[in-house]
Structure 1
């Protein structure tokens, strides 16, 4: 009997746990939204799994903690072909988006965001923090067009309840006049945003805008997730770093209040001494640094003006070694800031291996357990007592026991996603090849 997507599960049978020794199969029982038990596989459970609509037989699959994405832009997703932006340039991407955004209605935004969210869910992501543009306006009423993106995403948040945790960050564009930043950010929170966001490093006065955004967060008692110093050493001009001001302002916040710093590209250009000082500030302030390899490889370091092609990825290994909490996200899905993003956590993890020099195991952690921690969510995974958010991936056809690297290399399409104990998505790929006979 097949399980209907959305159904509450009692368990899954015959799976391999990621990181466990080869050949050790288990059955995972689920009680509501929680993993109840992880038991040695009992073949007697397989008939139940094939006849009980609340059990899944997933022989051949490996179970991972479900992925989370701590930095997305669902309001911009799938807009690349509508905007037709210039290639590989942050300022150009921003300008093209600002020009096109006036033509997008609340329904347009909701439709694209919904399709992107389903894409992410089908590939194993059960929790997303999305930044959502707030459009400059003199009207800060809740019905204002300024908040149409926020309204669209709060509607999606309600639609996805129980299948995907969606956090909404109010992103007031950096070019917003200073006298509107506070009113629009507060209005966005009233309209349904969960967190304060922004990109103050792009503002005319980066430190003043950092302070203005944090003033709102503190006054409202909410967390903050800022685009932080998304530029490289040669492109900064006299632009002030915001990371130290950010850290200094939030060091006294309650421990459970979210504070995230996305991008942090400039940190990759610091010498060892400067980076050590910066990392110390970040650690003491409890800020999670969120690396975004796909977008920052696309947007940073490609102009070659200094004869160099630099990578714009936050220095994860050094930050981790200094005790800073780190995570990674996919950022953009086929929009002006990345034409090729596809919402797959395994793609992000693969880039972390090849471009950020993370081990495959570290890369998987960065998009699963570390990302979930950055979201301030309780642990999830195939562990008794944890939230039953699981990503089950069919093991690749490979000699020997598949490793973390093998899963990243193959990125198998066959995935079963469980969210809060419910079957959220199931994808099966069938390939037909000719019947070839061995030669010789």
Structure 2
């Protein structure tokens, strides 16, 4: 950084935030530029930038802006740019194993609607009750955030989810993402970043969760609660589809970056969305979680026509086929029956997602429960 400091625009670009965010941090929390020469705009010094990076990191981790600012205003020499700044309780705000540990949990809320395709059918169970906190609120973070959050989110999250994942947060319209009274701090940080359309922070939080505790726990305790909360806001207000889209895209990118098994291992599992089904996030989570266990997969993606799926099954001879259906119109039993009728049917044919009829599935079709049990089942079936 030049000796004369950075302008507000340059500082914002360095941090990857909006200039309005810096103005808000200055006006509300006193984290403004300290270098001043008569007749010139104030400039951000190295020490100012250290404070701003501490502020940015802590708020992204779920610490309230006021608390984060209090720590950021402390001596910069105590705060390394590489992390470790204390949170409001005196510990590190970085995502830790405790943040994602397997605490007692409740099952997912059934009322979410939207587009991400997240359901406990291949979702994995529950939100992480770490501590008692309010739902993430749009006004808590930086400036320039939308006035309320409805999110274009998850119809994916809806569906086959047993009641209760995100607690008792009200589903009415408003300015919050309802994460429940005991949401994980990382999920709160992700919710704030999503409301700001802050892609870099969303990616940072999701990557930290995935690399720190694995796909399954990150999916259950960090990603799912936010997607479900956005879905509830969307149901209430039919707004902020862009929030869900950016979050879903970020989740997809992080899950796709999970290292895959060696290329010499032949995939024996075929994952696909049913004909006309566009939701794929749960399948992407399943593929990434299986990859962590060394199980390769073929993921065909959204809207796989029945004939194309049959061709893929006949050509590759998978041991396991998982067909995802989110919307009732896409969950046609005929698709399953046609797979069973091929000359060499898969050992396991699984119907996943809330789009399949509750009754009437062929008795030889497996229904998948939570993400962890789905991974165990497929890993065992393909291990021979």
Is TM-score (shorter-chain normalized) higher than 0.5?
A: no
Task: Return the structure number with greater strand share.
Answer: 1
Task: Return the structure number with greater helix share.
Answer: 2
Give the TM-score normalised by the residue count of structure 1: 0.26
Which structure carries more relative contact order (alpha carbon 8 Å, separation 6+)?
1
